[in-house]
Every structure is written in C-alpha cells, then in structure tokens.
Amino acid sequence: MEGWIIALIVIGVLLLVVLVWFIATMNNLRQLKVKVKEAESGIDVALTKRFDTLSKMVETVKGYTKHEAKTFENVVKWRQNMPDELTVKQKEEFMEKMNQIQSDINVVVENYPDLKAEKVFTNLQRGIADVEEHLQASRRMFNANVSRLNSRIVTFPTSIVAAKINMEKYPFFEAEPAKRQDVKMEF
Amino acid sequence: MKEGLQGHQERKRRAERVILLGLPVLALGILGAVLGTAETFGDWAVTAGAILIVFAVLLFVIGFVLFQRFESNFKHEFLKDYLSGLVEEGEFVPKKGFKKIQGLDPGDVYNTEFIERADRFYSYDYFRGKIDGVDFVSSDVKLQRIEYETYRDKDGRMKRRKKYVTYFHGRVFHFDFNKDFTGNVLVLERYKPQTRRKYSKVEFESVDFNKKFRTLATNEHTAFYILTPHFMESLMKIEKNHPGNLGFSFIDNKLYFAIHTGKPTFSVRPFRRLDEKLLEKFREDVGLIHNLVDDLKLNRKIFKED
C-alpha cells in the first residue's frame, strides 16, 4: 500500500478518535449541567416551601405582633417585583430575607410563651425545621454538582470542549458568614 | 447478680475441667500407640492407647457439651436479665433471631439491600428495646454461601467438593428513623447492593467521606437530606472504631445497620474469665447502640409528627 494512503488512514483514525472524545466530553458536560439545573430547581422548590410555611407562621404570630407581618409583606412585595426565575444571587438574597423573618419570629416566640404552647404553631415550627433541612440538602447538592461541573470546565483538555460550546463556570449557592449559621429553632 | 455470676463461673470451670482432663488422657493414648510400635510392648500398648484416645475424645465431647449447656444457662438465666436491664423495654432472647419460625423473617436482614442472600442462615441473640424513645431491633447473624473447590484425589483424578464459606458474621440492627424520606439510600464500606433497584452513585462535598464510603441512592436529594454534614461526621467516627466493616441503609423510614465482626457478640469462650470485665465488654457492645442513637441524633424527633 502506498505510504500516503497509510498516512491518510492514520490521520483519519486520529480525527475520528478526537471527534468521538469531543462528543463524549460535550455530552458529559451537558449532563452535568442538567444535574446542576435539577439541583437548582430543588432549591426553588425548597425556597417556595419555606416561603409558604413562613407565611403561615406569620399569620399565626400576627395576633401577637404587627412588626413581623409588615416585614413579611415587604418580602412578598420584593418577590413580586422579581422575575419568575431568580438568579442564584437573588435566591441567596431571598433566603437571607426569610432567615431574617425566621429570626424575628423566634424573638416573638421567646416573648410570648403562650405561642410556644399552641399546637398549630408547634406543628408549623416542626414543618419549617424540615423545610430548612430540605433547603440545606438542596443547597449542598447544588454546590456539589456545581463543583464537579466547574472543575471539569477548568481542567485541560475538557476546558477546550467547554470553551467551544460556551460553557462557563457556574456560581455556587453560598451563604455569607452571617447566613451560614443555622437558623435557631426553638421548641 | 454478682453471686449469680460466680455460680455460672463455677459451672463453666466444671466443663473446662472435663476438657482439660481429656488432654493428659489423650497424651497417654498417643504415648501408648507410639510405644506399641516398638517390639518390647507389643499389641496391648496399641490397644490401650486406642482406648485412651477414644476416652479422651469422649471427655472433649462431654466437656464441650457441658460448656454449651453452661453458656445456654448463662445466657438464659443471667445475661437475659442483665442486658434487658441496660435499655428501656429491653428484651434479650438468646435463641431467637431473624428467623422465620420465630416470627421474624430473614427478610429483615435482606431488607438492608446490601447483604447477600445466604445458602445457610443463622441468627441468634435477639436484642430489642428503646433508647431515648428510639425503637431498635438487633440480632447476631451468620451467613454462609456454597463454594466449590477442585482437588486431586489419591488416584490423581480431579474432583470437586462443596464447602460453606462464611461471608458475614456480625450484628444487624434496625432503627426507627427520625426523618420521613422518599427513595432509598445505601452507605457502604465492604458490601455491594443486592437488589435490582436502580441506584446511582452520590458524591458529597466531603472528600474523606467519599473515600471511606460508597453512597448509592435512588434519589440524590434524599441522600443529601439524610446525610447532613453532622451525620456524615458521626458515621466517620463510628467507622474509625470499626474500620472496613460497616453498612448502612435507609429504606422505608428505617435505618438498617450491619457490622461484620467475625464473631458472636454475646458469647463466652472456654478458658476465658467470666467476670466484670466480660460484662463490661457486653456493656460496650450495647453502648454502640447508644452511640448510634446519640451520634446520629435519631432521638431528635423534630422532623416527624408524634
């Protein structure tokens, strides 16, 4: 066989290998991105659940103090002015606002022991503790997936594929130092 | 209780004395058989030696039967009350285990979804109770599978023989879990999933945890929900004391835990002292259940309605 034919076959095989690798890497990155998106929607669900439970709690404490209801109304207004789909940064902000309301409610509970004894309120507190756990789980799952995706994006040679398909590093759902502390639940 | 312990110690010594008596008789028997080969002594020495060897074997058998009887009495008369008293609503039943005939199914072991089905199933020393309001059930389990080995007989022909190999010997626990969850999660060290259910690997943010345990889940979110950073830390702590032998599964709002120790948990061995030190060891074994409840915070009921 002529030398140039062999060279052509070798080049062809090499190109095919590169192409297969490129497609496999591209699919892998896209799958990771889908996982990140799924995890992000988990955060959305948990945030919405927390918002709903908090609104019920605010409704219960309304009889004891007007301040929390006012704060909550402000959060509702803030949310209404935001697009349906929040960015990660906006979600962090939303969580922080809810943390604030939660802390305020805890202060009210401290000042009104009758409230602590109310069955409805206790159930809501139990509910919010669970929602909180789900939110933490979603946040950790999101960050774990983001970490995996980001490290693939910056690692050579996957970084070449990532750049070709315009895939960029994803932001983490970070809690600032003040927010990192668990919201204290009083029972 | 101490007097009771001494009484059992005496019974144990009696059994051990019979076993010990067998040793010089066996030695004499062997001596007789060896001397019988010399012309001076002749056949009568061989016959006497053989009789002595048979007598020694008989003494060993009697000794071990007596020892087993002692152990059974010890467990029923002493350990039953002793262990039952260590936990709330405690119940220790030496002969009972995860056995179908006694109302508990071997399925309770296979429900862990990581313990392989056995060809021979043994279960004993059933122990249940409540710690800080958390119900638990546990039992020693010994599982064996059939394996075939090939060998050459004296004529040089290849043959195959069956043997039973122990692949799990330890304790299996069930706990009520304090969170409601959907899907199943397995946290494994030395085991593999034994189910057709579709599990996917879960990687946590803790590199150390990922190195120690292989986590598989039918729902990734549930794995993160159950395995909080504190929970993972506690599992690592438990693993430190029992390296390489643990398996956890979270199924149907229950926590299954298996620990392979390679030996029975509440057993008394011949020629080992039966004293406070041994009871202390038993207390430590029960302490493991306390640690699980405390470290894993299974007693925190804030996520479930009463």
Q: Which residue of B has its CA nearest to A140?
A: B224
Q: Is B34 helix (H, G, I), strand (E, B) or coil?
A: helix
pLDDT at position A185? 45
Q: Give the separation between CA B258 and CA B169, rounded to whole angstroms.
A: 10
Give pLDDT < 50 ranges for chain A. Answer: 177-187
Q: Which domains does chain A have, with CATH numbers?
A: 3-180 (1.20.1440.20)
- Residue located via tokens 């039953």: B80
Is residue B205 less than 8 Å (CB to CB) from chain A? yes
Q: Do B228 and A137 touch (CB under 8 A)?
A: yes
Is residue A66 less than 8 Å (CB to CB) from chain B? no
Residues in chain B: 306
pLDDT digits (tens), chain B, 306 positions? 445 788 888 888 888 899 999 999 999 988 888 887 776 666 777 888 889 999 999 999 999 999 988 888 888 888 888 888 888 888 888 877 666 555 456 888 898 999 999 998 888 888 989 988 888 899 999 999 999 999 888 888 888 999 999 999 999 998 888 788 888 999 999 888 888 889 999 999 888 899 999 999 999 999 999 898 888 888 888 888 778 789 999 998 889 999 998 888 888 888 888 888 888 888 888 888 888 888 777 877 655 555
Q: Which of A123, A134, A141 sits opposite B220 (nearest CB)?
A: A141
Would you say B236 and B211 are in contact if contact means Cβ atoms under 8 Å apart? no
Would you say A51 and A98 are in contact if contact means Cβ atoms under 8 Å apart? yes
For chains A and B, CB pairs below 8 A equal 42
Interface test with A, best of B178, B204, B205, B221 (most A CBs within 10 A): B221
**Could you tell me the maximum CA-CA distance found in chain A, to the nearest angstrom?**
95
pLDDT at position B134? 86
Q: Which two tokens stand for residue B47?
A: 């016959």
Tell me how many helices (H) and strands (E) chain A has.
7, 0
Q: Which helix (H) or strand (E) holds A67?
A: helix A67-80
Is residue A138 less than 8 Å (CB to CB) from chain B? yes
The residues near B58 (Cβ < 8 Å, ≥ 6 apart) are: B22
Q: Which residue of B has its CA nearest to A187?
A: B302
Determine how β-strand B200-202 pairs with β-strand B214-217: antiparallel
CA-angle at A57, arms to A53 and A61, nearest 5°: 170
Q: Which residue of A has its CA nearest to B207?
A: A144
pLDDT at position A178? 46
pLDDT at position A182? 46
End-to-end CA distance of chain B: 38
Is residue B297 less than 8 Å (CB to CB) from chain A? no
Q: Which of B179, B205, B305 sits opposite A140 (nearest CB)?
A: B205
Is residue A47 less than 8 Å (CB to CB) from chain B? no
Distance from CA of A65 to the nearest CA of B (A): 26
Chain A residues with CB-CB distance to B224 below 8 A: 137-138, 140-141, 144
Q: Give the separation between CA B222 and CA B204, rounded to whole angstroms.
A: 12
Q: Position A180: which residue type?
A: R
Distance from CA of B212 to the nearest CA of A (A): 17
Would you say B84 and B92 are in contact if contact means Cβ atoms under 8 Å apart? yes
